[in-house]
Structure 1
Amino acid sequence: MLKRVVAKTKNAPKSQKVGKLPSKQEILDFLQGASQQAGKREIARAFGIKGGDRVTLKALLRDMADDGLIAGSRRKLERPGVLPSVTVIEIVERDSFGEFIARPANWSEEHGPPPRILIVESKQDKGPASGIGDRVLARITPLGAAADTPYQARPIKRLPRATRSQLGIFRALPGGGGIIDPVDRKQLKEWRVARGATNDAENGELVRFELGGPARFGAANARITDRLGNPQDQRATSLIAIHAHGIPDTFPEAVLNEADAAKEPDLKRREDLRHLPFVTLDPVDARDRDDAVWAEADPDPRNKGGWVVMVAIADVASYVKPGSALDKEARARGNSVYFPDRVVPMLPERISNHLCSLQAKEARPCLAVRMVFDKDGRKRGHRFLRGLMRSAAALAYEQAQAAIDGNPDDVTGPLLEPVLLPLWGAYGSLTRARTERAPLDLDLPERRIQLDEQGRVRGVTSPPRLDAHRLIEEFMIAANVAAAEELEAKHTPLIYRVHDQPSKEKLAALSEFLSTLGVKLPKTGQLKPAHFNRILAETRASPVAELAGEMVLRSQAQAEYSAGNFGHFGLNLRRYAHFTSPIRRYADLMVHRALIRAHKLGNDGLTDAEMPLLEKVAEAISGTERRAMAAERETADRLIAAYLADRIGARFAARVSGLTRTGLFVRLSETGADGFVPASSIGHEYFYHDEKRQALIGEETGAAFQLGDPVEVRLVEAIPSAGALRFELLSEGRMIGIKPARGRIQGQWRKPQSPRKGRTRGRR
């Protein structure tokens, strides 16, 4: 016991005699230096206070609380508004200078508004800063109460993002308080909100909330922190994804000021390309145009049938300089994020939609590559240059394709012979080279959501893939390969776009699935994309063609950015870098800077400080890319769920797109929407999940539902806020050659019992 008392008195002043009532300042000093939670009991032990003196101590602590010197409960006392030297903070915004501002991750509202904390980057760590929403363990230094930011923080390490802050729909209850329906489909439950924790939210409003401690009966309470407006408004659906994933959608004042002050670069050292009739080919609703193309038959008699192709890319590097506020913001965002109703751009509109957008008839600075191909599409050489170009026309894919197909309009008619036909001629040669290279041929349908003027879903379509799309794709791939080759030849570090080979585990799962279709995956040697292409060709005429493609896609690794090169498996390329979209991808901007440095094309190239940090940048922008993909996918799911919400009870044609022991996932043929069929709505027997055959099989009849099967389903429930659809299965299972096996689990025969692992119970 004596050891315990001595240990607890280490934080007490040395001049303080054990047993004597401490002064207010001594108590404040003790609380400031306490390494763990400290309350009345800990103070008493630290100062050796016993017996009747505890009552006096209690009165002293009450007086200090009344004076605002301390706050909290008897078990946890603290100095209000004073942060410990090391604490967890959450980044919440950027200030007018583009610097990150944080607040304490755990802050009691009894202390008033949380203090603003300025993030100060360490001189030893010049890599990409944390992003808004990140939690950081940091060392805190007070700057004084009069400062705009009373504290500054030096990050020690970034912590995993907190999952306690969520989005939901607030439902007010009579008498105050309410409940929240979360928008996260994994949290389909209700959270209660006490009367004092609603933040004046109105019924039906979209809110951000945090989960507090457990209430009296064990259920966690929620506290509303932000009101985000009516979830039925046009902008609410994408707002949910933006806030849920911490995507920054407003620019700091310093960034906007730099964009407004941007001026056109010096054109003296640029090659004049304005005489070449470049054109841009984009979707009809394109919001920015960062690439233009031009081609002609190679006049060199030594390259008969060959082509000269030029790809000109917006020169973003001339406006976004290393270390500027624009650069820091672009690096933190990593990429633009595209939703059906809006774009969250990587760069402010004046840069992305004006100065750097290759508008028709407007002179624009560019970074271009001139490539020469032979008649079979093999590249004979390339040259990079910094130039000034002028687009002859801004064309939509469908518009250019119609002209090639014999239906030109007033714009494309004059361009057909001198511009479009040479482009298609060069594309024909590159197509032959592509066929020889044999990249992974996954031509999966794209789902496009069409909105009306009020932002509601008007329909969901899968636009056809045109040669115009493939032409731009091939030209961009060629330019990206040239960029990687050039920088390697110049021994200049760069960020590669890499795609690893499929893992052994994924290949094993794919092989098992394909075996149920009578298709074999080669086991010898190293697999190449051509092996997968043969599988796709074998199944192309079958009913499971789309799902076979889906399974092949699922077996692939995810493409990412890296400062090291291990090739691009899907494209079957040894080296590849993103060069063609610097308006919307930070990786491309870094490649542009590397090329500028390698060819001494200006003083705005890759800096010495950036070169050793490329791997760190690559890791960060790979993360922002995954974040964007998740947000875009969730938004599409929510919009389609809202579109189908008034069709409860309707029947739909679908295919089985996934299986688990708890039910089936189905994909609607009409919209491509994904939904779930619980096992309880399937048949009148027990079903078990056969992973090898990718099927749910009835134990009594052997009737099965297999991946890719066409089925008919009835919509039972739609939850737009979560993007969730629940269906009932109307189709009967089919026989797939499995003998009825009552009580059989994984090849074993046993008497039927209650549901076990690996079996799902259907409706009896």
Structure 2
Amino acid sequence: MTHLGALMFPDKEKIEEFLLREAPSPVTSRELMAHFNVDEGVAGEFISLLDDLTQEGRIVEIKGGRYAHPSRVGLVAGRLTMHRDGFGFVVSASIDTPDIFIGHREIGSAMHSDFVVARVERHGKKPSGRIIRILKRGASRIMGRLRMRKKYALVVPIDERYYRNIYVHRDDLGGAADGQIVQVEITSYPIEDDVPEGIVIHVLGNPGDEDTEAGAIALKHDVHIDFPGEVQQAAKRIPKKVKKSDIDSREDLRELPFVTIDGESAKDFDDAVQIDLTDDGSFILRVAIADVSHYVKPGSKIDIEAYARGTSTYFPDRVFPMLPEALSNNLCSLVPREDRLAMVAEMEFSRGGRRKAERFFPASIRSIHRLTYNEVARVLDDPDSEEADSLRDVAPALFNMWELARVIRARRKERGSIDFDLPEAEIVLDLQGQPEDIVRSERNRAHFLIEEFMIAANEAVAEFLEDKRIPAPFRVHEEPDDLKIQGFRNFIHNFGYYLGSVGKVKPADLQELASRTEGKPEERVISQMMLRSMKKAHYYPENLGHFGLASTHYLHFTSPIRRYPDLLVHRILKKAVGKGRMTKKFKEKLHSELEEQCFHLSSRERVSESAEREAVSWKKCQFMRDKVGEEFWGFVTGVATFGFFVELEQYFVDGLVHVSSLKDDFYHFSEEAQALIGERNRLTYRIGDKVRITVERVDVERRQIDFKLITEEKEVDLAKVPKKSNRLKKKGRRRG
């Protein structure tokens, strides 16, 4: 129940559940109040609760002021996803509700990404309907190209899913010129077939310019580019050096040989590590994390902007940081030979990697080396190397660290933690920011070392707070949905693999499968499909465990320079280990605040990831645009009704082979086999196949690369091809 002073309200979930399963028909607010014994004196507050549920699309209000669950009155609430050709789909948050097709004439005044209610008018496997209500507009700011007219201007959205141009009065151009890329804020949304109206709020520059394109991608995804003036002024007031009084007020660990281990181009150093051995052979590991919370106080100008950003966003050629550079690259960064403030997780491990004890405290440190992953890996690989000799003051500690990381990793794998050690694309840029190569970003032993230490620290802090029943932004990863796992089972069956368990899948089952596919040609595609079958990790004010890590307690503590949830954890942890006492009232208030914060920060993480993906696609298209007509080998990584995607073997670049380019047969998409299958020749193209293609077209603006199959002769394993009579799904029929 929800508390309001001394009064009790039903939770939103209880109201939703009642309307879904118990209410015999749509009910009025009075009937709901009677059912839940809500006092007349708080009728207004209860109506506000119903309004919230309605705005969230979890219940609907129909004629006569009656309330119902959408599914019981033929309605679906969800996000409208448009296609550039003018039709769209309403995507419900419920996995049990299929997407609802919305034809062009049934869109009304809705726009891409709006939260809407649709009435389902045709049921079945491909339900369709029409939009009857807009609950919440999805976008108030849109990126586009300015087109001048005699008396007005139009902004043509870059994202073609916003298929309506935006009208701008000549007085509202903000100094923009014809053809420039701008961001427009919508001031008036369309009514039926009208165009939306807006004002230019940001002029990025001319198309093709690197800063313009990067800025356009960032703003399109709502990533903040520049810090507001008041934040910049606050950053200027930050001291350049750590104050002596701050050092004196905490444990002094400056004599301990901490080191940072990061990438070659890293500028912000969140974490430093140090290790000791005890007389009985146990390890004492200290993970020191930059004490951002000492400088960024709740409610300050810098804090408000950091929360709005939620995270730093990394493009191949630039970073949009969460914190101003005075903090991220200077005072908070654990640079070598400088006094720095840190929060330390001190953990004792047995020789077998079992955590025996832990302690958390504020400290001052002074790291002695800024090491890179490659440097450390070379030392670990060859103790007699020149590299090891040049780092002889820390080399013994590095070997002890590796020994501890190795046994911790073994224990983690033993409990079923899933490792997706897939190589990623590293885009190599020239001095002008243009991509000159795309190479595999391989991980070495130093990466694994730091990864294990960070996971260990995160788990230790999470367990500590959970034991004290203190709410925190836990990093939760729930069990996958049965339907998605069943689809994954069907998919791996095509490769001759099976999941060991029957019924609910366990992390150990997936880890065992990952081990069996290691080094095989199908390893990458099976790992990718495994990832797609699982839920996305997110932040939540209660500990629900982490499925992928097979961890009972997990949160993010180790990167407060670039992730706001980590900053929240530091504040909470400081209070938990401080002299003050956390009252029950404080914990309840904290939990209430965290509910909204976790939702916001999970959303900001997704925003950042989507922007980063597009930025990588942009650079990949730039790299491939002079390779049109060239031939490459690649692997099929995805199949759909309209064709299949191929990732090049030489580069981490993928493109589409459209089904219309397959001239030799009619091809149908088999959902069961995840394949395109020829109607006559039974030729099949499925995930994992190796094919040779030519680059046919590169559209940098749309971030699209089209391939064409060079040869259509390939061996067919008929045992793995579904029979034509009853297995083929009759969709995606194409012939050139």
> Shorter-chain TM-score category?
0.7 to 0.9
Aligned partner letter, 2:693: V
Aligned partner letter, 2:292: V
State how far apart, in whole Å, the 2-side matches of 1:604 and 1:340 are.
Answer: 43
- Mapping of 1:478-517 within 5 angstroms? 478-517=456-495
The structural deviation recorded for 1:621 is: 0.3
Matched, 1:447 2:431: no
Structure 1 residues 603, 170: closer, same or farther in 2, change over 3 A? farther
In the alignment, structure 1 segments of 5+ residues that lack a partner are 1-133, 137-157, 749-755
- 1:386 aligns to what SS in structure 2? strand
Aligned partner letter, 1:729: L
- 1:236 aligns to what SS in structure 2? helix
Matched, 1:230 2:233: no
Aligned partner letter, 2:182: V
Name the counterpart of 1:184: 159
Among 306, 309, 313, the alignment partner of 1:333 is 309
Among 182, 186, 200, the alignment partner of 1:207 is 182
Name the counterpart of 1:41: none
RMSD (CA atoms): 3.4
**Is the contact made by 1:402 and 1:408 (CA closer than 8 Å) also made in structure 2?**
no
- 1:429 aligns to what SS in structure 2? helix
- Mapping of 1:722-733 within 5 angstroms? 722-732=702-712, 733=714
State how far apart, in whole Å, the 2-side matches of 1:518 and 1:198 are.
Answer: 62
**Is the contact made by 1:177 and 1:198 (CA closer than 8 Å) also made in structure 2?**
no
Structure 1 residues 192, 520: closer, same or farther in 2, change over 3 A? same
Among 349, 370, 382, the alignment partner of 1:394 is 370
Structure 1 residues 276, 721: closer, same or farther in 2, change over 3 A? same
The structural deviation recorded for 1:223 is: 7.2
The structural deviation recorded for 1:484 is: 0.8
Name the counterpart of 1:146: none
Matched, 1:736 2:711: no
Structure 1 residues 166, 572: closer, same or farther in 2, change over 3 A? same
Aligned partner letter, 1:244: K
Name the counterpart of 2:643: 663
- Bigger mean CA deviation after superposition, 488-497 or 308-317: 488-497
State how far apart, in whole Å, the 2-side matches of 1:251 and 1:607 are.
Answer: 32
Aligned partner letter, 1:672: F
Among 276, 288, 298, the alignment partner of 2:256 is 276
Structure 1 residues 659, 525: closer, same or farther in 2, change over 3 A? closer
Return the index of the structure with the highest Cα Rg: 1
- Mapping of 1:277-316 within 5 angstroms? 277-299=257-279, 301=280, 304=281, 306-316=282-292
**Is the contact made by 1:596 and 1:604 (CA closer than 8 Å) also made in structure 2?**
no
**Is the contact made by 2:494 and 2:720 (CA closer than 8 Å) also made in structure 1?**
no
Structure 1 residues 691, 274: closer, same or farther in 2, change over 3 A? same
- Mapping of 1:576-725 within 5 angstroms? 576-600=554-578, 610-725=590-705
The structural deviation recorded for 1:286 is: 0.4
- What is the CA deviation profile of residues 582-602 of structure 1, one whole-angstrom value per residue up to 9, with x for unaligned ones? 111111111111111111168
TM-score (norm 1): 0.72
Name the counterpart of 2:731: 758
Aligned partner letter, 1:332: A
Structure 1 residues 198, 231: closer, same or farther in 2, change over 3 A? farther
Structure 1 residues 627, 427: closer, same or farther in 2, change over 3 A? same
- 1:665 aligns to what SS in structure 2? strand
Name the counterpart of 2:127: none
Structure 1 residues 626, 604: closer, same or farther in 2, change over 3 A? farther
- What is the CA deviation profile of residues 712-743 of structure 1, one whole-angstrom value per residue up to 9, with x for unaligned ones? 2222221112211112222325423169999x
The structural deviation recorded for 1:268 is: 2.5
- 1:617 aligns to what SS in structure 2? helix
- What is the CA deviation profile of residues 155-186 of structure 1, one whole-angstrom value per residue up to 9, with x for unaligned ones? xxx9745447533445789x999987754365
- Mapping of 1:87-486 within 5 angstroms? 160-163=136-139, 165-169=141-145, 182-184=157-159, 186=161, 199=173, 201-202=176-177, 205-208=180-183, 225=200, 226-263=202-239, 264=242, 266-299=246-279, 301=280, 304=281, 306-406=282-382, 407-409=385-387, 412-486=390-464
Name the counterpart of 2:521: 543
- What is the CA deviation profile of residues 554-577 of structure 1, one whole-angstrom value per residue up to 9, with x for unaligned ones? 111101100011100111100111
- What is the CA deviation profile of residues 299-350 of structure 1, one whole-angstrom value per residue up to 9, with x for unaligned ones? 3x3xx3x211110001111111122222222111111111111111111111
State how far apart, in whole Å, the 1-side matches of 2:551 and 2:474 are.
Answer: 12
In the alignment, structure 2 segments of 5+ residues that lack a partner are 1-112, 116-133
State how far apart, in whole Å, the 1-side matches of 2:501 and 2:601 are.
Answer: 35
Aligned partner letter, 1:296: D
The structural deviation recorded for 1:463 is: 2.0
- What is the CA deviation profile of residues 623-647 of structure 1, one whole-angstrom value per residue up to 9, with x for unaligned ones? 0000000000011001111111122
The structural deviation recorded for 1:622 is: 0.3
TM-score (norm 2): 0.74
- 1:350 aligns to what SS in structure 2? helix
State how far apart, in whole Å, the 2-side matches of 1:740 and 1:257 are.
Answer: 65
Structure 1 residues 759, 446: closer, same or farther in 2, change over 3 A? closer
**Is the contact made by 1:359 and 1:391 (CA closer than 8 Å) also made in structure 2?**
yes
Structure 1 residues 669, 271: closer, same or farther in 2, change over 3 A? same
